[in-house]
């Protein structure tokens, strides 16, 4: 990355490959990125996880976390009723406290986008609708189907598209195929009026096996035009671990230093307690800076996290421990 | 050559495990004569919170077990208590500074009381429930159901008997328990926890905290995820305040009662009566 041309915005960064994005040029670049010091990374993540955040800082952290949540339901058993109740929860997270912030978005399957948009009504815009697309969670479908899936969700009113990369292609070294797919899906995010839905690219780090692969996939996704890079689908374990998120944040930080462009990060899956979520906030602030602590640049993909955060919030407000009877069941 | 004594550190019992206090605090347990007996963990409000969480997690399994099965599990505890008889007698004798005969009687009473309560597991429903006569072709059944998580302040003047007298009746119906042991005599409570840990009682059904009831009780009384509060050993605390904060979350509360004499009332105190209708014919 010492090349002069890399110090330019994304389009010029692609000139690294002489204008031709091929497996060979991508491999030369991605596999030329230095390897990850796994022990150092895990140690750094563990150290960041030991910060003690109390009282007013904790209250601020909790409100920040809520405003960053993509409230998610991605079950085969989802119904329009379930999506409507999810939206109702997003609109009024805590019925006992009108000052409670709202989550950033609701995240649903493509066929539920219209239901979610309808249920949000006038609040659509202040709360976004994110849709998973491209044959989520496996990504095993032809490009034609993936693009149709994406265009469908965008047409139904989705503000954000969460796509999955083709892990099979990535792991077998067909980087250009993964790159082209992201570019194509990004194009499918275009709306008729010329604006575009935000694109989050899910790397599914649980299937990438090594930290080196996570770093390469992050670079690949960003080069191809991702607005956000997202750890996982939530369907594969391990999902969003702190070291993997830290690693992705480092790539985002490096990209910002090179190009001045801010890319978002979204850990998803397995973050269930506010204690865990606060560790992520610390990691973001320490890696990318506090500028990144906004819903535009950092999100949590979660469902049960919101309830735990609300319980903590109630504890801080009332001074006594709250219980699951005092938050909605979902 | 005299041997160096190896005193035991008594830890908490939360969710089937024996953690130290989250706060890292311990306190010394002295005999009635003032001799050092052991170190015990001094539970904090966060330990109480963890215990409630463990107890809540255990409710569905324990209350969902058949009454017959619960009776068997509880009887098995009595068997194991019998096996540790010597250890309990020794602890009570040294802790309470009583004669061996009195200590023996306390252990025997505790075991007998446990057996008595175990027997009620598949019988109290017949006494506390009812098939109500109604003016139509319906079965109308009132059935007692466990309240859920019960927080308790164990009687403070007794090592084992008082603890057994409050814990056993709540367990019979399928409640799970967070109990604050006697502040002065906590050793038998942790030994009882060791018995429970090696019995068939699922982890989290009984959670034992040692330390200061005055410090922990307010947190349990106001905890929104606790369904009932037994103030048996709370005479010396501001128990009216505890009742008031328990009322905020509609808890069932039993007032202080030092000896917690065995009775069916103690069993039904932590049950809710549910009445259901069923058609009589197949139609």
CA–CA distances in Å: residue A204 to residues A127, A186, B221, B277: 25, 18, 45, 51
Using a CB–CB cut-off of 8 Å, the residues of B that contact A are 49, 52, 56, 219, 222-226, 245, 249
A91, A124 Cβ separation under 8 angstroms? no
Task: Return the residue of A nearest to B225 by Cα.
Answer: A323
Say whether A320 and B225 touch across the interface (CB within 8 A): no
Q: In what order do the strands lie in the sheet with B26-30?
A: B9-10, B36-41, B26-30
Give pLDDT, residue A330: 73
**How far is the C-alpha of B134 from the C-alpha of B124, rounded, in Å?**
23
Interface probe with A: pick from B218, B225, B228, B246, most Cβ of A within 10 Å? B225
Active site residues of A: 162, 230, 266
ipTM comes to 0.86
For residue B118, report the phi and psi dihedrals to the nearest 5 degrees: -55, -40
B45 min Cα distance to partner chain A (Å): 10
The pTM (predicted TM-score) of the whole model is 0.90
Say whether A321 and B56 touch across the interface (CB within 8 A): no
| B222 contacts in chain A (CB < 8 Å) | 319-321
State the average pLDDT for chain A.
Answer: 93
Cis peptide preceding A199, ω within 30 of 0: no
HSE, side-chain direction, 13 A CA sphere, residue B238? 11
Interface probe with A: pick from B224, B225, B251, most Cβ of A within 10 Å? B224
Task: Return the residue of B nearest to A324 by Cα.
Answer: B225
**How far is the C-alpha of B244 from the C-alpha of B256, rounded, in Å?**
14
Give pLDDT, residue B258: 78
| A314 contacts in chain B (CB < 8 Å) | 224
Give pLDDT, residue B283: 57
According to DSSP, residue B2 is labeled: P
Give the three-class secondary structure for A265.
Answer: strand
Question: At residue A8, does pLDDT exceed 70?
Answer: no
| B51 contacts in chain A (CB < 8 Å) | none
Query: B42-58, pLDDT tens digit by residue?
Result: 999 999 999 999 999 99
Q: Which CATH architecture has domain B9-279?
A: 3-Layer(aba) Sandwich (3.40)
For residue B86, report the phi and psi dihedrals to the nearest 5 degrees: -60, -45
A110, A153 Cβ separation under 8 angstroms? yes
A276 min Cα distance to partner chain B (Å): 16
Place of tokens 């490009």: A143
Cis peptide preceding A75, ω within 30 of 0: no
Query: B177-215, pLDDT tens digit by residue?
Result: 999 999 999 999 999 999 999 999 999 999 999 999 999
Give pLDDT, residue A6: 36
**How far is the C-alpha of A194 from the C-alpha of B51, rounded, in Å?**
56
CATH 1.10.10.60 corresponds to the domain A4-319: no
State the average pLDDT for chain B.
Answer: 95
Pairs across A and B, CB distance < 8 A:
27
Q: What proportions of chain A, in percent to the nearest 5, are helix, strand and coil?
A: 50, 10, 35
B177 min Cα distance to partner chain A (Å): 16
Give pLDDT, residue A10: 65
Query: B103-160, pLDDT tens digit by residue?
Result: 999 999 999 999 999 999 999 999 999 999 999 899 999 999 999 999 999 999 999 9
Query: A162-188, pLDDT tens digit by residue?
Result: 999 999 999 999 999 999 999 999 999
Query: A288-299, pLDDT tens digit by residue?
Result: 999 999 999 999
Question: At residue B33, does pLDDT exceed 90?
Answer: no
Mean pLDDT check: name the lowest of A103-112, A124-133, A209-218, B1-10. Answer: B1-10
Burial (0-12, 13-18, 19+ Cβ within 10 Å), A87: buried
% of chain A exceeding 70 in pLDDT: 96
Structure tokens at A180: 């082209």
Per-residue DSSP letters for A130-141? Answer: EEEESSTTTT-S
Task: Return the residue of A nearest to B222 by Cα.
Answer: A320
Q: Does A321 touch chain B (CB under 8 A)?
A: yes
- Collect all residues with Cβ–Cβ distance below 8 Å to B91 and sequence separation of at least 6: B159, B187, B188, B191
Q: How many residues does chain B have?
A: 283
B80 min Cα distance to partner chain A (Å): 35
| A326 contacts in chain B (CB < 8 Å) | 224
Give pLDDT, residue A3: 40
Q: Does A54 touch chain B (CB under 8 A)?
A: no
Place of tokens 């018995």: B195
Q: Which long-range contacts (CB under 8 A, 24 or more apart) does B197-202 make?
A: B197/B13, B197/B16, B197/B18, B198/B80, B199/B73, B199/B76, B199/B77, B199/B80, B200/B72, B200/B73, B200/B76, B201/B73, B201/B77, B201/B171, B202/B16, B202/B58, B202/B61, B202/B62
A237 min Cα distance to partner chain B (Å): 23
For residue B219, give the nearest of A321, A322, A323 by CB distance.
A321
Structure tokens at B186: 């906590």
| A321 contacts in chain B (CB < 8 Å) | 49, 52, 219, 222-225
Query: Where would I find the H helices in A102-142?
Result: 113-120
Query: B59-118, pLDDT tens digit by residue?
Result: 999 999 999 999 999 999 999 999 999 999 999 999 999 999 999 999 999 999 999 999
To the nearest 10 degrees (0 to 180), the angle between helices A55-68 and A274-287 is 90
Say whether A320 and B222 touch across the interface (CB within 8 A): yes
Nearest to A265, CA basis, from A288, A298, A289, A226: A298
- The domain locations on chain A are 4-319
């Amino acid at each position: 990355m010492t090349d002069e041309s890399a110090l330019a915005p994304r389009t010029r960064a692609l000139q690294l490959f002489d204008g031709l994005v091929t497996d060979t040029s991508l491999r030369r670049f991605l596999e030329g990125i230095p390897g990850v010091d796994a022990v150092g990374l895990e140690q750094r993540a563990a150290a960041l996880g030991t910060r003690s955040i109390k009282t007013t800082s904790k209250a601020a952290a909790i409100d920040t976390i809520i405003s960053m949540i993509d409230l998610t339901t991605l079950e085969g058993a989802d119904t329009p009723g379930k999506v409507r109740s999810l939206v109702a929860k997003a609109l009024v997270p805590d019925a006992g406290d009108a000052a409670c912030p709202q989550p950033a978005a609701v995240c649903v399957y493509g066929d539920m986008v219209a239901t979610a948009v309808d249920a949000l009504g006038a609040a659509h815009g202040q709360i976004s609708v994110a849709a998973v697309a491209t044959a989520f969670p496996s990504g095993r479908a032809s490009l034609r189907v993936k693009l149709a899936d994406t265009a469908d969700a965008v047409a139904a009113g989705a503000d954000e598209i969460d796509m999955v990369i083709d892990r099979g292609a990535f792991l077998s070294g067909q980087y250009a195929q993964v790159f082209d797919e992201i570019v194509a899906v990004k194009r499918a995010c275009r709306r008729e009026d010329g604006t575009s839905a935000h694109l989050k690219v899910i790397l599914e780090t649980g299937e990438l096996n090594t930290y080196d692969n996570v770093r390469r996939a992050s670079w690949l996704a960003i080069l191809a035009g991702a607005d956000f890079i997202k750890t996982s689908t939530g369907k594969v374990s391990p999902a969003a671990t702190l070291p993997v998120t830290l690693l992705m944040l480092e790539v985002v930080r490096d990209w910002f230093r090179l190009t001045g462009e801010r890319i978002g990060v979204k850990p998803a899956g397995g973050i269930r307690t506010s204690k865990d979520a606060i560790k992520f906030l610390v990691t973001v602030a320490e890696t990318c800076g506090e500028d990144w602590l906004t819903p535009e640049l950092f999100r949590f993909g979660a469902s049960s996290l919101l309830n735990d955060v609300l319980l903590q919030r109630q504890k801080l407000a009332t001074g006594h421990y709250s219980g699951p009877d005092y938050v909605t069941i979902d | 050559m005299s041997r160096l004594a190896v005193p035991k550190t008594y830890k908490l019992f939360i969710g089937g495990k024996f953690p130290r206090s989250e706060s890292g605090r311990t306190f010394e347990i002295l005999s009635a004569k003032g001799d050092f007996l052991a170190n015990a963990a001094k539970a904090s409000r966060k330990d109480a919170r963890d215990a409630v969480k463990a107890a809540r997690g255990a409710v569905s399994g324990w209350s969902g077990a058949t009454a017959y099965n619960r009776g068997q599990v509880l009887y098995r505890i009595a068997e194991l208590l019998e096996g540790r008889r010597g250890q309990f007698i020794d602890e009570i004798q040294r802790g309470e500074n009583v004669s061996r005969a009195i200590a023996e009687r306390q252990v025997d009473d505790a075991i007998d009381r446990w057996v008595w309560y175990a027997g009620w597991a598949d019988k109290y429903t017949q006494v506390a429930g009812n098939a109500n006569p109604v003016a139509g072709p319906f079965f109308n059944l009132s059935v007692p159901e466990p309240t859920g998580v019960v927080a308790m302040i164990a009687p403070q003047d007794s090592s084992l008997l008082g603890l057994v007298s409050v814990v056993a009746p709540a367990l019979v119906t399928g409640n799970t328990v967070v109990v604050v042991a006697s502040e002065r005599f906590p050793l038998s409570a942790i030994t009882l926890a060791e018995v429970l840990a090696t019995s068939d009682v699922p982890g989290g059904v009984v959670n034992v905290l040692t330390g200061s009831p005055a410090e922990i009780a307010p947190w349990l009384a106001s905890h929104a995820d606790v369904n009932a509060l037994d103030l048996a050993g709370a005479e010396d605390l501001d128990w009216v305040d505890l009742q008031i904060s328990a009322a905020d979350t509609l808890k069932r509360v039993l007032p202080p009662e030092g000896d917690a004499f065995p009775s069916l009332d103690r069993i039904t105190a932590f049950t809710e009566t549910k009445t259901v209708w069923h058609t009589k014919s197949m139609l």
